Every structure is written in C-alpha cells, then in structure tokens.
Amino acid sequence: MESFLNALVSGLISGSLYAAMALGLTIIYGISRIFNFGHGVIALIGAYIAWIFVQNSKIADTSLLLGILVAIVFLFLLGFLLYRYTMNPLMKKPNWEISTVLFMLGLGILLENVILQIFGPRVKSIPVFKEGNIRIGMVQINWHEIIIIFIVILAIFLLNLFFKHTRSGQAMRAVAQSIPGAKVVGIDIEKIFGYTFGLAFVVTGISGILLGTKYYMNPHIGWEWMVKGFVIVCFGGLGSTNGAIYAALILGVVEALATLFLSAMWVWPIWFAIFMIVLLIRPQGILGGRV
Amino acid sequence: MLKVDSINGYYADLHVIKNLSLRIDQGEVVALFGPNGHGKSTLLKILCGLQHPKSGTILFNGENITAYPSHRIVELGIAYIPEARDLFGDMTVMENLNLGAYNKRARHSIPQNLEFVFEIFPRLFERKNQLCSTLSGGESRMVAVARGLMSEPSLLMVDEPSIGLSPSLRSSVFEALAKINREKGITLLIVEQEIRDALSMANRIYMIKKGEILFEKPSAEVDINEIEKAYF
Amino acid sequence: MKKIISNWQASFVAAIVIFLAAYPLLGPSSYLKHLFILFFIWSVVAAYWNLLNGYVGINSLGNIGFLAIGGYTSGILALRFGLSPLITIPIGGVVTGLLVTLFLGFPALRLSGIYIALLTLIFADSLPSILTQTRDITGGGMGLHEIPPFFPGMEKVHTYYICFVFFLIAMLILYKVIHSKTGLAFVAMRDSENLANTLGINRYQERLKVFAISSFMTGIAGGFYVHSLGDISPTTLSIEPFLLALAMIELGGIGTFFGPILGAGVIVFGNEFLRLAGTLRLTLLGALICGVILFYPGGIMQLVEELGTRIKVLFNRKKVTE
C-alpha cells in the first residue's frame, strides 16, 4: 500500500512536469496548426540558459531566478522572430504542412548540435530549489517536488487567466476557432501567431528548466522529452490544453505504476502502445476539444 | 467615401471580378444584386482586405487601401459581415462582441456600442453568456451583425443578411440594418437575394453579372422585372 | 522549343546512365566504387521517400525505419539460416511492406498529415530499443556483421553492377507509379487545391497502396544495403542517416522525379567532404535543410529549370536575330 501510494504521488509529480512540457506543443498547434518538431530543443535551451546562471554564481537562489527571467525573454524573442521570419513565409505556400515539419526538425537538430558544441556531451543538472523531505501520512515527498507542482499549477492558472481575460489571449482563442472570423474583426493574425510562438516557447523553456532540476539533461535528451510530449498531446487531443494536462497526469501515473509493478524497461513500450491505441480508437484524443 | 477603380479579382484560378468600378457615398445604403457565383462575395472580400485584387485601386476616404491587410482596413472603419458568419463558437456572445471591438479605435467606446447593439438586438442581451455554438441561425446572424457594429465602422458591408432566415426574422434583421443606417449614420453595402426587401431600404443599387457591373441606378428608378430578367 | 529541351534532358539522362554503366571500366579505386554503391542505394531510399512526402502528401518521417526492417530481415535470414540473398532480399521487402502497411499505414493514413508524421517518427524512434530487446537475433547494439554478399566470392565491381541494375529498375518502377492513373491523380491534387477528391479515386485506398509500394521498395533497398556493405547496426537508425536522406530530398527538389537522385549524388559525395567539418557536420546538415526549405524550396531541380528557361530564351533570341 505504501509503495503504491508513493508511486501514485511520484507519478502525479512527473505527470505535472509532462503537462508543462506538452502545453507549449499544444498551444502552438491549437492556434496556428503548426506542429513544432523542434519542441524538445526549445525546452533544452531554457534549461541550459538557467544552468549557465546557476553555474557561474555563489548565490544559487537569486541567480536561478535571474536565469529563468533571461530564458523567458530570450525564448519569447526567439519564438516571435522564428515565426515571423521562417514559419510565416512557409505558411503561405501550399505544401506548408510538410515544409514546416521538416524545417522545425532540421532546426531542432541544428540547435541540438549547437548546444553540443557549446556545452559538450556531459550530463548536467540544475540544483534543486529546496532540499529536504516531508512526510504526509504514508507518503514521502520532498520540498523540491512540492515547489515544482506549485509552479506548474501557477503556470496553468496564469495561462488560463491570460487566455480568458487579456486581449491577446482572447485573440489567440479567436484565431484558434476561426481564422476568417479573426481577420474580419481586425485581428492581425500574423502578429498573434508570432506572440503564440513566443508564449509557447516561454512555457516550453520553463518546463525544460523544471525537467532539468528533477532529472538531468544532455544535448540529446530533448528528443525523448519531445516524443513524450507527442504522445501526451495526441492522447489529450491535438490543440487541447486541458486534454494535455489530464493526459500528462494519467501517463505520469501509468509510468510510475508500470515501473513499480513491472519494471522500468516497460515504460517506453507502454507509452508507444498507448499512443497506438489512442490513434486507433480515438484519434481526436480523450477530450478532442480545442484551446 | 469608397471609390473602386477598375479592379480585377480571382477566386482560385477563376477570373471572377473583371475591370469593376463602383463608388459609395457617405450615409448611403447601396444594394448589390447579381446571380450566385458572379463575384459578389469575392468583391466584398476584396473590399475588406481578405483578398487582394490583381490590378486596380480602392480608395477609402481618399486613402489608397488596395494592398492593406484586413486588420488595417477594420481599423480605418470598414466592417464586413461574412455570409458564413465565422463566429467564435466556443466563446460566449459577450466575448464575441468584445472581440468585435478589437481594433484600437473601437476599444474606448465598447460600453456605448454594447448599449446600441443590445437595443437593436434585445435577444442578444438575454443570450449574452451563452456559447455561440449553441445559438440558432437567426441569433448567430444577429451576433455577426452586432460583432461588426462593435468595430465602430463608418461603412458596414453585409453579405446576404437574410439567407436561411424565416420571413419574420428576415424583416427584423432588415429593420435593424435600417436603424443602424438611420441612427448611427453608418453607410451600408448589402449583398442580397431578397430583392424586394433590399430595394425598399436601399438608395442605390448595382447589378453585377459575370464579374462586371451590368447597370447602376437609384432604387426609385428600378423596375423589378428588369432585375429579375438580369438574373437569367 | 519545348521538345528540344526535353530531348536535351532525355539525352542528358541517357549520357549519365551510359557513364554509370561504363564507369567501373575506367578503373576507379575501390573507395569510389563504394561511394557509387551508396549513391545507388540512397537514391532509391530518397526517391521512394519523396514519393510519399512530395507526391502523395503522406508526411512520413519513418522511411529509414523501413530500410532498417528490410535490411535486418534479409541480413538475419542470410546470416542465421544461410539462405541466399536472392531469396532473403525479396522476403525483407515483403516483410517491411506488410509490417509497415499494417501497423502504420492502416491507422495513420485515415488521419491528417501531422498524425502520420508523429506516428512514423515515433515508430522509427522505437526500433532501436526493440533491437536491444531482441539481442540474440539482431545483435543488439553491436548489430549484424559479416552478412554474406550477393554471391560467394564477389568483388566490388559485381556489387557495383548489381546495385546499379537495382537502381535502374527501382527508378523505372517509380516512374511507372508516378505516371500511372493514380500517380497522376495525386499530382493533380497536389498542384491544385480545388481538385481535392474530384478525380474519382478512393483516396485512402490509393494512399495505402502507394505507402505499401514505398515501404516495400525501401525494404528491398535495405536488403541491397546490408548485402553490399556487409553490416548493419542501430546507428543506421540514428539521427544522421535520417538527416542525410531528408537533405537529399530537400536539396534535390521535393516533389520532383530527378530531385532526390541529384540530391543523393550531391549528399553522398559531399558528405565525404563534410567529414572534414568533424562534429560540426550535423549542424551544417541541419542548416542546409533549413536554408533550402526557406530560401530555395525547389532545390537543385529549380536551378536546373531556371537554367533551362534561360537557355531557351537565349535560343529564341538567336532565332529572332537570325
């Protein structure tokens, strides 16, 4: 019982990390219909920027905060400019779907190898926010994980606020629901797509930082994160943010229970099997809604 | 107000607007008649910047807007209400109306415009917190018109306001349009198949056939047989 | 004029084929012959990948996986059971075609393009871990070594000609597929947005057929790959071959018949120079793919066509002045 409960909790923790990871993918897809095949490396860029700051200072807490801020600004600009100067011209051509997929893949590999050149192949990790454990009943949980969950919940809350109550957020939802409608009411959809990429890259970068504190990172780990993100967004329904969150939590728990009752070796085959079953039975995902 | 000078437009590869010129004056109600597939909708799309003409110029209050994207044209005060409505189905009526006032000019007058919109469409006030995907055909038509009004236009272009509506709903939509023109002084350009209804409120009409203007007349001088003949 | 240009093209192709047929007689080094063998095989892989991505609109990212399934099947049968590659290569092709069509084609082709891309990528991504799980048969991370050649006691020249003939046949089949009723329908649909599904073909069924052809031929290419080179390992499934094949398609010109062949030529021989760049190689390849997609989406074929028109204009002018 105790190990079961602990597995459940640790599944929920990694599930919330996966949710943060998948949000960026599903936001971009839901609004612009572009699928970001360079998603993993964007998360890595966030994580490595934070790592630089933590690495070169003695006061770890404030420098981590500074690193996160720098990563946010950098990734927003990267997303906005990337949309504007690459995706936007590609979107205007009839074969945009395949060209954006191949472009982002190519860019992902390019950036992965740039990271490899700069930081080398060695495994790195970002120090935890706060050491120490607490015990709640039978469940053992450490402070760092509590903070991670808190950050993820806060991020989801802020995103919801943004989508509901700001003009840009409403415009993003409008574009997701009807592009002609959005144009008719005077929304500059290219600008909104640019903001969408910026926002999604920021969310993705933060998820990369969180993953970098909980697990480890190297220049190639982005692909593994991304593939998990793929399965989550398909499971939750492409373009649905709520779906992605539920799917991530479910898959996180499934992963933890599989590790407990079978072995860690079974984790990947199970992810793949879930993916296949979802596509065969319910390709629109568990919710099948939109942003 | 609006001056269109010999524009040519395409729908995919088809040449659907041929060397077309027209003008609309301040405060007028202009009706555009013509058979389906003869370029009326494409013309409206070109005028509001959803599509761009291959040649020719469009002047709005003296400003050359031919190459402007739609969001700049909305900003200048042209609103377009598409036949397909294109509402945001997963949003409430209120959210749709607020998005109608997305452009900078209209943001400041949201309360007044909401008041006016609810005055002419009291039904929308009752449904303001309902999702648009749950509305009836007539109600969504009203939301589309109301959303267009929220952008505080000086020229409102409506594509087939009455399509798919029952006769009583149809006349209430036309009454609302007349009121918009009368009370707010908004210039109207209406594409319509219900010729009698549209004639009764229009000052002037254009007859379009095969992408060209067949004739242009003050509506008082129009013989309805003449129009019906032009359809065939 | 148009006829002359296409005659030029035809004679150009004929000249290249004659050159390739006669090349070993010039006594090139074994290394150069090896590069040409690679060129033949990769041309087939890239061309049949392009059939999916460039002609039919199936956004496959898994064709290297098809190559690996065909290669492993044929290699294992020849190595472990002593069967002749003449039998094992077709078996490898059939196994690939069946597996891929059943497990990827059936579920994915009903869905929109992005799902196909996701599913095929994850499929190719999961193959290495399957290989490690089945170490006893597949050799795991070490892969298969000393896979027997096509015939006992073969020399490089023989391999060269076998692969050359395979290359010619594969291209002929591809040409037939593209110019079949189905192929032309897909090309028409690709080139005109309004034409979708008005051509009276069952799109799902026909796409499934093309998918089966592409995976079968790529599986066959996998067989030629292992029996020519003698080994295969999970590195075949790593990011580099994937990137190389994509670069061939994009650089040569996606959606054209000759593009991937030209691209394969440039990449196979160019990659040898790229080795000088060491660890920067993948960075450069990524940049190459992005650059071509963004700035010159027609690739080499676009360049060829532009040159063609220019020559045509030159010719016309000459005629007028005469």
Q: Which residue of B has its CA nearest to C194?
A: B12
- Domain for residue C8, yes or no? no
pLDDT tens digits for range A179-218: 999 999 999 999 999 999 999 999 999 999 999 998 889 9
- Domain for residue A7, yes or no? no
Chain C closest CA to B212's CA: distance in Å? 24
The Cα A96–Cα A102 span in angstroms is 10
The Cα C113–Cα A263 span in angstroms is 34
**CB-based contacts of B43, cutoff 8 Å, min separation 6:** B9, B17, B20, B32, B208
Q: Which two tokens stand for residue C77?
A: 């049968």
The structural domain count of chain A equals 1
Q: Is the pLDDT of residue A274 over 60?
A: yes
Q: Which residue of A has its CA nearest to C283?
A: A110
* Whole-number average pLDDT of chain B: 91
| Chain B partners within 8 Å of C193 (Cβ) | 12
| DSSP class of C144 | B
Cβ-defined contact of A181 to B87 (cutoff 8 Å): yes
- Domain for residue C214, yes or no? yes
Q: How many helices (H) and strands (E) does chain C have?
A: 14, 0
Listed by start position, the domains of chain B span 2-83+149-230
Q: Which chains touch B (3 or more CB pairs under 8 A)?
A: A, C
Correct CATH for B2-83+149-230 of 3.30.420.40, 3.40.50.300, 3.30.450.40, 3.10.20.30: 3.40.50.300
Size of interface A-B (CB pairs under 8 A): 66
Cβ-defined contact of B151 to A185 (cutoff 8 Å): yes
Q: Which residue of B has its CA nearest to A176?
A: B88
Q: Which chains touch A (3 or more CB pairs under 8 A)?
A: B, C
The Cα A241–Cα C321 span in angstroms is 67
Q: Which residue of A has its CA nearest to C281?
A: A113
* C-alpha to C-alpha distances, B226 to B8, B81, B157, B221, nearest whole angstrom: 26, 28, 24, 11
CB count in 10 Å sphere of residue B50: 17
Domain boundaries, position C156: 31-237
Q: Which residue of C has its CA nearest to A280?
A: C107
Query: Predicted ipTM?
Result: 0.90
Domain boundaries, position A28: 16-221
Q: What is the DSSP string of chain B?
A: -EEEEEEEEEETTEEEEEEEEEEE-TT-EEEEE--TTSSHHHHHHHHTTSS--SEEEEEETTEE-TT--HHHHHHHTEEEE-TT----TTSBHHHHHHHHT-SHHHHTTHHHHHHHHHHH-HHHHHTTTSBGGGS-HHHHHHHHHHHHHHT--SEEEEE-TTTT--HHHHHHHHHHHHHHHHHH--EEEEE-S-HHHHHHH-SEEEEEETTEEEEEEEGGG--HHHHHHHT-
Q: How many helices (H) and strands (E) does chain A have?
A: 12, 2
Q: Is the pLDDT of residue A289 over 60?
A: no
Supply the pLDDT for residue C318.
66
pLDDT tens digits for range C16-30: 999 999 999 888 888
Cβ-defined contact of C114 to A231 (cutoff 8 Å): no
Cβ-defined contact of A187 to B99 (cutoff 8 Å): yes
Q: Which two tokens stand for residue B214?
A: 């067949």
Cβ of C58 under 8 Å from any chain A Cβ?
A: no
**CB-based contacts of A126, cutoff 8 Å, min separation 6:** A47, A50, A51, A54, A64, A209, A212, A213, A217
Q: Which two tokens stand for residue C28?
A: 């090139």
- Domain for residue A236, yes or no? no
User: What mean pLDDT comes out for the span C87-110?
Assistant: 92
Phi-psi region of A33 (alpha: psi -120 to 50; beta: other; left: phi over 0): left
Chain B closest CA to C195's CA: distance in Å? 11
Cβ-defined contact of A174 to B74 (cutoff 8 Å): no
- Domain for residue C284, yes or no? no
* Whole-number average pLDDT of chain C: 89
| Chain B partners within 8 Å of A188 (Cβ) | 69, 71
Supply the pLDDT for residue C307.
86
**CB-based contacts of C9, cutoff 8 Å, min separation 6:** none
Q: A129 in helix, strand or coil?
A: coil
From A37, A93, A283, residue closest to C115, measured CB to CB:
A283
The Cα B159–Cα C263 span in angstroms is 50
Sign of CA dihedral A32, A37, A38, A43: positive
CA-based nearest residue to C148, from C212, C222, C93, C85: C85
* 3-state secondary structure labels for all residues of A181-235: HHHHCCCCHHHHHHHHHHHHHHHHHHHHHHHHHHCCECCCHHHHHHHHHHHHHHH
pLDDT tens digits for range A71-88: 999 999 999 999 999 999
Cβ of B83 under 8 Å from any chain A Cβ?
A: no
Strand bridging mode B155-159 / B78-81: parallel
| Cβ within 8 Å of A, C 89-118 | 103, 107-108, 110-111, 113-115, 117-118
pLDDT tens digits for range A118-144: 999 999 988 888 888 888 888 888 899
Cβ of B12 under 8 Å from any chain C Cβ?
A: yes
- Domain for residue C270, yes or no? no
User: What mean pLDDT comes out for the span A59-63?
Assistant: 72
